[in-house]
Amino acid sequence: RFQACVYFASVFQAMSCGIHYLASVFMAVTPDFVCGFPGNVSSILFHNSSALSIQDIWTLWTSTDNYIVVQLENGDIWELNQCSRSKREVPLDLAYEYQGNKSVFPCSDGFLYDNTKWKSTVVTQWDLVCDREWLAKLIQPTFMLGVLIGAVIFGDIADRLGRQRVIWFTSAGQFVFGIAVAFTFDYYSFVVVRFLLAMVSSGYLVVAFVYVTEFVGIKARTWASMHVHAFFAMGIMIVALVGFLVRTWWVYQIFLSIATIPFVLCCWMLPETPFWLLSEERYEDAQKVINTMARWNKINTACKVSELCSVQQDDLVSDRTGEKDTSSTKKHNILDLFCNWQIARRTITVWLIWFTGSLGYYVFSLSSVSLGGNEYLNLFLIGAVELPCYIIACVAMDKLGRRNTLIPFLILSALICVLIMFIPQDFNILIILANMAGKFSIGVAFGLIYLYTAELYPTIVRSLAVGSGSMMCRVGSVVAPFCVYLRSVWIFMPLLLVGIMALLSGILTIMLPETLGKPLTNTLVEATEIGRNKKSCSGKTPPAHSGAAPEKIEMFGQETFSIEK
């Protein structure tokens, strides 16, 4: 009961992370637009249709190459394009076609936007179009850069100051910075505040993984950690719902941010994890938490910290009196992930899977609003399809194995990317279903790689392996928005890139060893032997402890993974 309450309270806030990660898909949308005109308009013409106002024209607008002809009250006739406007030198009768001389002027009077779908976006607020379009395209990449930095900073702070304090700070930060974004006064303050919002959102998500896995028992740990992703997906669904209901960007941002309030009001009740308290030798505080857990779970005799500590002390003494293990004194670095060909090939493949999983995840998510049909429903379905994918991943990875699940879903996602290219653009429903299938398959691979990476590497470099893989994941999330922008070059370019990366990752995964049912390794020698290659990393790491019981090694391996994740 105690673990369940802590778990659901913590992962509830993960929805806010999903909300802020994908909020820009509607907040920074660029509607149809043309140059503004200098003066009061008397007549408006678009092809053979006349209208009383510009807003009546947007339903007829079909291409960015179109232009609108307006006649002002002083008799001047202007042709309004997207990034320029032309004044006809000889204003004859109002006609759409004109072969005479024109004077071209910049859009010094601002722009006119189609507000039939969105009353206001950050693009329309600060005119992020034409020569300022690149500023709009930097909104999501700068957010993802904040995600990368936040994961590094708050992951380290959580190890130093504790999980509880970081959860307090990051959850409060999500609310404060989320509301502050809505009241920014210009583009640059908007980007800076969203960058800070990205840091605290990423920090919370990273520490929440650690927090829940340190409280949940080994039996349910795989399911619990995997379904943190599911709550993130629910946040994406909320973005679609709020985007449909609220069409002004700053009101939309406020509504998304208040989803944090319930957790902010109760997060101070969450305790520190006993694992961290024991690592800091705060035994009395750890005992208080354990007693609370026992009381909630109706256990008469609580575990005694003093007994646990005495066992650990006995193990420590036996280690010190035996042969000195140089792995406990040697500091390992990133080069240890390339100590021989087997480990190096494994590292390159794992990094590629992390990068591909993140790239595909965000390409499918961010591009969902451009698939045609109802963009709000598209994003909702892209988020909803994740919910069953993590259940399938959990079942498959335990029944078929980690590698045997990863390979088919990576290759399947590549095939789906190719399939989408051959679907006619008029078949909107079929395109949406295919994109949902692509998101499903890449989601399985993305969720599985967390655990698989931890099992592929030994204890002495497991933190480095998971951490470096996570960094490649963040790099993929930064690259994803730029990949989506390549739709302007060729509509299928993002899918082509994701398909190539997924196919390459799937083929390379064949060479990875299966880890299902195998004990976690402690040294690089043991990790290399998983791949049935006896070539050792001699000189880099010593042999494993021979006196440790298998149960004990497995237990500490599981705990190590939970902390590093």
Domain ranges within the chain, ordered by starting residue: 1-30+119-270, 33-116, 275-310, 335-530
Q: How far apart are CA 558 and CA 55, in angstroms?
A: 61
Query: Tokens 């080069």 map to which residue?
Result: 335
Range 1-30+119-270 has CATH code 3.30.300.20? no
Range 335-530 has CATH code 2.30.30.60? no
pLDDT of residue 174: 93
Q: How far apart are CA 239 and CA 506, in angstroms?
A: 32
pLDDT of residue 459: 67
Q: Up-side HSE of residue 269: CA atoms within 13 Å toward CB?
A: 12
pLDDT of residue 217: 73
Q: How far apart are CA 208 and CA 13, in angstroms?
A: 9
pLDDT averaged over 10-residue windows placed end to end, the chain, 565 residues: 87 89 90 86 78 75 78 84 86 76 86 88 92 91 91 79 87 93 94 95 84 78 80 92 93 91 82 82 84 84 70 49 46 77 89 93 89 88 91 87 92 94 88 92 87 79 76 89 89 93 94 82 78 45 38 36 36
Neighbouring-strand partners of residue 112: 34
Residues 25, 26, 32, 34: is their CA dihedral positive or negative? Answer: negative
Nearest of 245, 240, 229, 29 to residue 140 by alpha carbon: 29
Instruction: Assess whether the region 1-30+119-270 and the region 335-530 belong to the same CATH fold.
Output: yes
pLDDT of residue 6: 87
Dihedral-angle region of residue 127 (phi above 0 means left; psi in -120 to 50 means alpha; beta otherwise) = left
Neighbouring-strand partners of residue 113: 33
Q: Which residues of 450-488 are buried (b: 16+ CB within 10 A; e: fewer)?
A: bbbbbbbbbbbbbbbbbbbbbbbbbbbbbbbbebbbbee
Longest distance between any two alpha carbons in the chain, whole Å: 102
In this prediction the pTM is 0.82
pLDDT of residue 237: 93
Q: How far apart are CA 147 and CA 232, in angstroms?
A: 14
